[in-house]
Structure 1
Amino acid sequence: MEDEPPLAGVSDFHGRLVYRSTSGGWRSALFVVVVEVTSAFAYYGVSANLITYLTGPLGHSNAAAAAAVNVWAGTATLMPLLGAFVADSWLGRYRSIIVACILYVLGYAMITLSTMLSAHDPSLQAGDTSPHPLSLQVVFFYASLYLIAVAQGADNPCALAFAADQFDPDHPRECAARSSLFNWWYFSLAVGITVSVGVVGYIQENLGWGIGFGMLCALMLCAFVVFLLGTPTYRLYEPTPGAGSPFALLARSLTALSQHDNATSCSLLEAKDVATQKEDARAVLRLLSIWAGCLAYGVAFAQVMTLFNKQCRTLDRRIFGGVELPPAALQTLGPASALLFVPIYDRVLVPALRRTTGTLSGLTLLQRVGTGLALTQASMSVAALVEARRLETAREHGLVDDAEATVPMCWAWLVPQYVLIGVAGVFAEVGMQEFFYDQMPSELRSLGMALFYSVIGIGNFISGALVSLIDRITSSGGGDSWFADNLNRAHLDYFYWLLAGFSAAELALFLRCASTYVYSHKRLR
């Protein structure tokens, strides 16, 4: 190593020079991948079945539980905006991930303790949906949930970027490996989510909620230890205080855009700097119009963890003769569909589309996102048709007034809507990630990743607000709410049709904005 020059611009966690042969690459990135797969496993282990816990042991109504899940999930996916600011301005990515891991372990430990306390609280018994005072256990439970949301904010905008930092973009072999990292990252997270939704949901409902949540805490603690073990090999890029903040850069760019050119009062160098800032601001404003057109995906995706789950609970979920699937298990169909579709898309569709469109990637970034939005609209339409069929079956068998009855309709009816939303994610989510990263000015790319997460976050908040508003309106005259606790008297089909219409309107907005969008740096892939 004496003849090997140190890498420029990076250091180890002690601030010392680092060398290519002893740092970075896959040896370092895999430590980060372990943490992120585990954190995704744990997060979906809570979120996938959360509505069942809220309407069961905590005694919430369907509408209240759905709104609570939407607000929590929305907060977790908006927190990266704050996390990106803190990481880029102060902590740095490495320290942000450490803070996130500490908060994860604390949050999952608290939610486990809260579950154990609730099990001994006579006012919080499964099946008791009558109103009761807000207990300390319920407050403690929600505090633990939102601590996990804060951890997501510190983790999500930093983890993938930190893993990519371990590869030198100026070194041919490491540059190729970094490109491969993004593919394996998405694949690994999908595997973790698929396993989590199936396994953790089964454990929670059959072995106990405390055991299910406690397992997540133990796994997160082990992953934290693994991340720390990789510390001696990490390459660290220190953020530039203040000036390096993406939000500070964005503010300066927007300020420059609002100013008139004044060639007599500034030097040529200053004029060029102002022109660059104005172009960066225009690029961000163009991205925001595309961002607005993508919100329908976030609203539709919010239903997977809430109302899709409640639909499934009313159906015949037996497989292999007598084994009953937990409702959350069907959520594995989404990521599983994505896992199966990615190779088909990459190996079959892209080559075919390349010959047709002449674009190297088959579809441009916006075409890929638009395809995902169209599939999202189709998913909501199918969900509405299936729910209408479920309600008709309940009426035919006289089950309208029996909230606990199993409607004689197979769980397989829900497969198309889960598969459609899963395939939509391959187009929309991956497309949005690449688009917001690729088209954001280089100094603002951490903000670009946060914009992607905010699509899901704002979508959850819109969904929660719609559920609360419609529940209040439809139940105000003494009639049944669209989200009545007895789903056989509810009208989730009307709500799905509403979301299908919203998705169609958003798709029209997206197509209008995309048709006039000019890619920065002439990136048309």
Structure 2
Amino acid sequence: MSISDLSDTETPLVAATVDGSVDFKGRPVYRPSSGGWRSARFIIGVEMAERFAYYGIQSNLVTYLTGPLGQSTATAAENVNLWLGMAMLLPLLGAFVADSFLGRYRTIIIASVIYCLGLGLLTLSAMLPSVSTVGCQNTNEITSCNSVYQFRLILFFFSLYLVAIGLGGHKPCVQAFGADQFDGKDPLESKLKSSFFNWWYFGLCTAALFSILILSYIQDNLNWSLGFGIPCISMAFAFIVFLLGSKTYRCSIKGNERSPFLRIGKVFVVAVRNWRRATPPALVHEVEAEEAHEKLPHESSEQFKFLNKALLASEGSKKYGKVCIISEVEEAKAFLRLVPIWITSLVYGIVYAQFSTFFTKQGATMDRRVASFFEIPAASLQSFIALSIVVTIPVYDSVFVPKARAFTGKPAGITMLQRIGTGMFLYVLSMVIAALVEMKRLKTAEEYGLIDKPNVTIPMSVCWLIPQYVVAGVSEAFAMVGLQEFFYDQVPTELRSIGLSLYLGILGVGSFLSSFLISVIEKATGGDGHESWFADNLNKAHLDYFYWLLAGLTAAGLISFWIFAKSYIYNKPS
């Protein structure tokens, strides 16, 4: 029999199928023609287009709110943080819908349609008249102008949060869908999956770099309608490209077993029900897992021991594991182990929220001339974050990991938690630099008598801000990628979209906490005729105090993170 004849027989095709995966129509998929970098490159390209759209809005949003919409600096910062928080928390809902009902592929399609609709309405809102009523001659005209402005304001925020809803379904599912293209049970594809997270974030930051440089200039110097319209076109193009690649994708099989949420929830319910009962010592060391056919690891059995009570049978039964089995208890423990890591990482999200708000307003007061005829937009400074990530990730993946692997013997060079901790330390350094530079900016304004002249450019080059952006970018190359891989890898397989949404939730809750912190400080420092730390006149404000506070909070968060990371028990690799 020839090779060509053999290729048509059933046996090789069965051997080539990928266990646990089907195509978008539910049919078996074959390894040579699906998944791997063939599909992953495709999905990374789609996500780059989406990130181009997202950063086209997020990076310069504070400028739009304080400019055409006429809001104060503190109010604009709070609104940006609230929107960022919602955009980063809604992925929890999107991931739940995907993992429990629709699947990632269908969720991405629905979310993309909502995303495009939101961007289209946002572009429409920017075409309406701005806050100014200078052209209105009488009371009736002023009333009409105000009505148009109020409609514009409502349409703008409705569109903005519609984008957040679309992002909530798109963001966690696309990344998890990309990682799903690599079979963790295949040795070669398992190694490629580790590099996938590095190059995924590299692609995202490359898109962010171009978005910030191009769109912030268009928005500041041409018009906002075009600045919002281009992201809309980018997202629509991304959606079409995603659909064109449907035949190559591997989709996870939606089994008939109970939802992982129900399984994990049942463990907690049964453990609470049995909390008065003693757990026999033999239970956690000798009872064999019914499904996994392996004994419960001793170090895991000693952690969160109260959950072992879920293994107890109903009263009067002599058989262990009657209600819950060991694999289900292990799922619950794995999920519970993530909680302290997630909580201690929240301070990272608080600091992350500052780059598109106060950092941008800070740069707007400084000398931004590159040449006598060209002035860079303040928001474009965020490109140094993306640029430093674009430079750092290839060096990390190609140079640092091989050298660290030879020294530590670990496949990734260092553990995921060590990578996250390194990024948190660099964030502390970034905030210290930001505080020192802001002190220098305030001193320069005082020396030149510009304290009461907020509209006059301070004779201090905006290049002074570059180090804090660069250090923040290197920090993200460590912490952000580490958080993505950690929360994808350490949750049960069926909950990987939820895992990635937990990472995004750190940024979302961090943004809400940042908004709350700003509101509290604004009220505490702005009373009795005093200028608050966030005064509209930044020459009278004290952003340096705020940055020192954030540096201290991040340092405290890092210490707490280190304590919990030392005792963390990693799951077995998939």
Q: Secondary structure at the match of 1:452?
A: helix
Alignment of 1:333 with 2:384, yes or no, is: yes
Residue 226 of structure 2 aligns to which amino acid in structure 1? I
Matched with 1:434 is: 485
Matched with 1:2 is: 8
Q: Secondary structure at the match of 1:400?
A: coil
Count of residues in correspondence between the two structures: 516
Q: TM-score under structure 1 normalisation?
A: 0.92
Given that residues 72 and 146 in structure 1 are in contact (C-alpha distance below 8 angstroms), is that contact kept between their aligned partners in structure 2? Answer: yes
Shift of 1:338: 1.1
Shift of 1:165: 2.8
CA distance in 2, matches of 1:70, 1:212: 21
Matched with 2:261 is: 247
Change (3 A) 1:166 1:517: closer
Shift of 1:224: 1.1
CA distance in 1, matches of 2:133, 2:501: 42
Shift of 1:432: 1.4
Matched with 1:61 is: 72
The C-alpha deviation readout for 1:276-317, integer Å capped at 9, x for no partner, is 333332332221111111111111110001000000000101
> Is the deviation greater in 165-174 or in 189-198?
165-174
CA distance in 2, matches of 1:379, 1:402: 28
CA distance in 2, matches of 1:25, 1:124: 59
CA distance in 2, matches of 1:355, 1:12: 39
Given that residues 491 and 499 in structure 2 are in contact (C-alpha distance below 8 angstroms), is that contact kept between their aligned partners in structure 1? Answer: yes
CA distance in 1, matches of 2:462, 2:257: 54
Given that residues 257 and 281 in structure 1 are in contact (C-alpha distance below 8 angstroms), is that contact kept between their aligned partners in structure 2? Answer: no
The one of 494, 509, 523 aligned to 2:560? 509
Residue 499 of structure 1 aligns to which amino acid in structure 2? L
Mapping for residues 440-519 of structure 1, pairs under 5 Å: 440-519=491-570
TM-align CA RMSD: 2.5
Residue 63 of structure 1 aligns to which amino acid in structure 2? A
5+ unaligned residues in a row in structure 1: which ranges? 126-131
Change (3 A) 1:235 1:360: closer
Mapping for residues 14-25 of structure 1, pairs under 5 Å: 14-25=25-36
Mapping for residues 271-350 of structure 1, pairs under 5 Å: 271=322, 273-350=324-401
CA distance in 2, matches of 1:415, 1:82: 36
Q: Secondary structure at the match of 2:530?
A: coil
Given that residues 354 and 363 in structure 1 are in contact (C-alpha distance below 8 angstroms), is that contact kept between their aligned partners in structure 2? Answer: yes
Change (3 A) 1:418 1:120: closer
Residue 151 of structure 1 aligns to which amino acid in structure 2? G
Shift of 1:172: 5.1
Identity %: 48
Given that residues 12 and 18 in structure 1 are in contact (C-alpha distance below 8 angstroms), is that contact kept between their aligned partners in structure 2? Answer: yes
Q: Secondary structure at the match of 2:251?
A: coil
Q: Secondary structure at the match of 1:319?
A: strand
Q: Secondary structure at the match of 2:268?
A: helix
Given that residues 487 and 499 in structure 2 are in contact (C-alpha distance below 8 angstroms), is that contact kept between their aligned partners in structure 1? Answer: yes
Residue 485 of structure 1 aligns to which amino acid in structure 2? D
Change (3 A) 1:243 1:522: closer
Given that residues 256 and 277 in structure 1 are in contact (C-alpha distance below 8 angstroms), is that contact kept between their aligned partners in structure 2? Answer: no
Shift of 1:120: 8.4
Given that residues 95 and 172 in structure 2 are in contact (C-alpha distance below 8 angstroms), is that contact kept between their aligned partners in structure 1? Answer: yes
Mapping for residues 47-126 of structure 1, pairs under 5 Å: 47-119=58-130, 122=133
> Is the deviation greater in 150-159 or in 115-124?
115-124
Change (3 A) 1:123 1:108: farther
Matched with 1:166 is: 181
The C-alpha deviation readout for 1:199-226, integer Å capped at 9, x for no partner, is 1101111111001111111121112111
Q: Secondary structure at the match of 1:488?
A: coil
The one of 41, 48, 56 aligned to 1:37? 48
Given that residues 180 and 250 in structure 2 are in contact (C-alpha distance below 8 angstroms), is that contact kept between their aligned partners in structure 1? Answer: yes
Shift of 1:451: 1.2
CA distance in 1, matches of 2:551, 2:203: 31
Change (3 A) 1:236 1:507: closer
Shift of 1:519: 2.5
Residue 254 of structure 1 aligns to which amino acid in structure 2? F
Residue 311 of structure 1 aligns to which amino acid in structure 2? Q
Change (3 A) 1:515 1:380: same
CA distance in 2, matches of 1:65, 1:358: 49
Given that residues 85 and 247 in structure 1 are in contact (C-alpha distance below 8 angstroms), is that contact kept between their aligned partners in structure 2? Answer: no
Residue 540 of structure 2 aligns to which amino acid in structure 1? R
Q: Secondary structure at the match of 2:459?
A: strand
The C-alpha deviation readout for 1:127-175, integer Å capped at 9, x for no partner, is xxxxx88711101100111111111110111112222333444455555
Matched with 2:462 is: 411
Matched with 1:129 is: none
Matched with 1:128 is: none
Matched with 1:155 is: 170
Given that residues 299 and 459 in structure 1 are in contact (C-alpha distance below 8 angstroms), is that contact kept between their aligned partners in structure 2? Answer: yes
Matched with 2:300 is: none
The one of 149, 158, 161 aligned to 1:143? 158
**Larger Rg, first or second structure (1 or 2):** 2
Shift of 1:331: 0.1
CA distance in 2, matches of 1:171, 1:514: 29
The C-alpha deviation readout for 1:331-370, integer Å capped at 9, x for no partner, is 0101111111223333443445445545443322222111
Given that residues 257 and 277 in structure 1 are in contact (C-alpha distance below 8 angstroms), is that contact kept between their aligned partners in structure 2? Answer: no
Given that residues 69 and 130 in structure 2 are in contact (C-alpha distance below 8 angstroms), is that contact kept between their aligned partners in structure 1? Answer: no
The one of 363, 369, 383 aligned to 2:420? 369
5+ unaligned residues in a row in structure 2: which ranges? 1-6, 137-145, 275-308
Given that residues 52 and 234 in structure 2 are in contact (C-alpha distance below 8 angstroms), is that contact kept between their aligned partners in structure 1? Answer: no
Alignment of 1:211 with 2:219, yes or no, is: no
Q: Secondary structure at the match of 1:440?
A: coil
The C-alpha deviation readout for 1:364-402, integer Å capped at 9, x for no partner, is 222211111111111111111110110010000000001
Residue 521 of structure 1 aligns to which amino acid in structure 2? K
Residue 8 of structure 2 aligns to which amino acid in structure 1? E
Given that residues 249 and 443 in structure 1 are in contact (C-alpha distance below 8 angstroms), is that contact kept between their aligned partners in structure 2? Answer: no
Given that residues 194 and 412 in structure 2 are in contact (C-alpha distance below 8 angstroms), is that contact kept between their aligned partners in structure 1? Answer: no
Change (3 A) 1:120 1:497: closer
Q: TM-score under structure 2 normalisation?
A: 0.84
Change (3 A) 1:401 1:443: same
Given that residues 197 and 485 in structure 2 are in contact (C-alpha distance below 8 angstroms), is that contact kept between their aligned partners in structure 1? Answer: no
Change (3 A) 1:90 1:510: same
Given that residues 34 and 227 in structure 1 are in contact (C-alpha distance below 8 angstroms), is that contact kept between their aligned partners in structure 2? Answer: no
Given that residues 81 and 515 in structure 2 are in contact (C-alpha distance below 8 angstroms), is that contact kept between their aligned partners in structure 1? Answer: yes
Matched with 1:188 is: 203
The one of 216, 236, 241 aligned to 1:221? 236
